[in-house]
Structure 1
Amino acid sequence: MTIAVGDKLPNATFKEKTADGPVEVTTELLFKGKRVVLFAVPGAFTPTCSLNHLPGYLENRDAILARGVDDIAVVAVNDLHVMGAWATHSGGMGKIHFLSDWNAAFTKAIGMEIDLSAGTLGIRSKRYSMLVEDGVVKALNIEESPGQATASGAAAMLELL
C-alpha cells in the first residue's frame, strides 16, 4: 500500500556519505521534531534526476528553508558511494542529505517501488516529493512518469509551502 497524507513514516535506516565519512541516518533522527522536504529519484546521475529534479532543489534550497523547513533530503535506491559521488559532483554535499536506500527497504515500506528493469535499472523508487512534519506526511506529490519532475519538483514544493 502506498503511503498517504496523514501517515507516519516507517522506521528505516539510510546510509549517507558526508565530508567526515559514511554515517547512518534513521528516520527518527531525520524527521523527529522537524519539518523536512524529502524527494525521491529513480537514480542518481540519471538524466531527469541530474538535469532537472536535483538542480531545482539545490537552486531553491534557501527559499525552501526560509519557509520554515528544517532540512531537505533526496533518497534513491543507489549505494552509498554512488550517492556520495552524486552529492560531490552536483555541488550538493553538505547542503542537502543524499540518502542511500541501498536495498529499497524504505522505498518498499512506503509502497513507492517501481520496476524499471526494461530500462536496465531494476527495482527503483518512483519519483515523488513529500513534506514531512515530525515523521508524518503532510503533503505528497507523486509523478505519473519517472521521466518527469514537475509535480515533485522544487517549484511545486515551494507553492505548497
Structure 2
Amino acid sequence: MIEQGQTLPAVTLSQLTDEGMQTLTNTELFSGKKVVLFAVPGAFTPTCSNAHLPEFITLSDKIKAKGIAAIYCVSVNDAFVMKAWGESQNAQEIDMLADGDASFTKALGLDKDTGGFGGTRSTRYAMIIDDNVVSGLFVEKEKEFTVSRAEAVLEKL
C-alpha cells in the first residue's frame, strides 16, 4: 500500500467534461499543486452518495481556503457514471475522476475484491497530495467511515 511521503505512481485516469473525454495521468493532474483526493467504493452507493461526496461539497470552500488547489473524487467506475453522479449531487466544486479498470487503485494497493457485488473496487480513503507526493493518507477500516470524512481531512490541513 502507498504510504505517506511516497510519490504517486503514474497511472491514467479519465474525466468526462463538457469538452469531452479527458485522459490524464495523475502526474499531469497533481504536479505542482496541493490537492485533496478521496476515493469511494462506488458512485451512487449509500454512504458515498449520502455522506462522503456531500460533505466534501459542503466543505469545499473551507478546504480550498487552506491552500488546496482542487478536490478530486475517484472511483472504480467509468467516466460517464462519474459525470452523472457528480451532476446528480450538484458537485461542481469536485473533479470527478474515473478509474475504470482500477489501475490507479491497484497501483496504490488500495483495491478490494467485493466479489459478485461489484468486483474490484477501491477502499474508502482520502489523501492530501503535494506536488504528486502523498503528504497525508487516511484509509478507512472495513465498514468504517471516520478518517476519510471531509471534516477529518480539513482538520489535517
TM-score of the two chains, using structure 2 as the length reference: 0.97
Query: 1:1-150 alignment to 2 at 5 Å?
Result: 2-92=1-91, 94-117=92-115, 120-145=117-142, 147-150=143-146
Is the 1:78–1:101 Cα contact (8 Å) retained in structure 2?
Answer: yes
| Alpha-carbon distance between aligned partners in 2 of 1:105 and 1:152, rounded to the nearest angstrom | 21
Gaps of 5+ in 1: none
| Count of aligned positions | 157
Cα shift readout 1:137-160 (whole Å, capped 9, x = no counterpart): 001000002x43211010000100
Q: Counterpart amino acid of 2:132?
A: G
Is the 1:7–1:137 Cα contact (8 Å) retained in structure 2?
Answer: yes
| Alpha-carbon distance between aligned partners in 2 of 1:149 and 1:16, rounded to the nearest angstrom | 26
Cα shift readout 1:73-129 (whole Å, capped 9, x = no counterpart): 01000011111110110101x4211100000001000100001115x1111000000
How far apart are residue 47 of structure 1 and its match? Answer: 0.3
Aligned with 2:134: secondary structure?
Answer: strand
| Alpha-carbon distance between aligned partners in 1 of 2:25 and 2:113, rounded to the nearest angstrom | 25
Aligned with 1:55: secondary structure?
Answer: helix
How far apart are residue 25 of structure 1 and its match? Answer: 2.5
| Alpha-carbon distance between aligned partners in 1 of 2:24 and 2:66, rounded to the nearest angstrom | 24
TM-score of the two chains, using structure 1 as the length reference: 0.94
Q: Counterpart amino acid of 2:78?
A: D
Gaps of 5+ in 2: none
Aligned with 1:44: secondary structure?
Answer: coil
The reply on whether 1:151 has 2:147 as its aligned counterpart is: yes
Backbone CA RMSD of aligned residues:
1.0
Q: Counterpart amino acid of 2:66?
A: R
Aligned with 2:86: secondary structure?
Answer: helix
Q: Counterpart amino acid of 1:123?
A: T
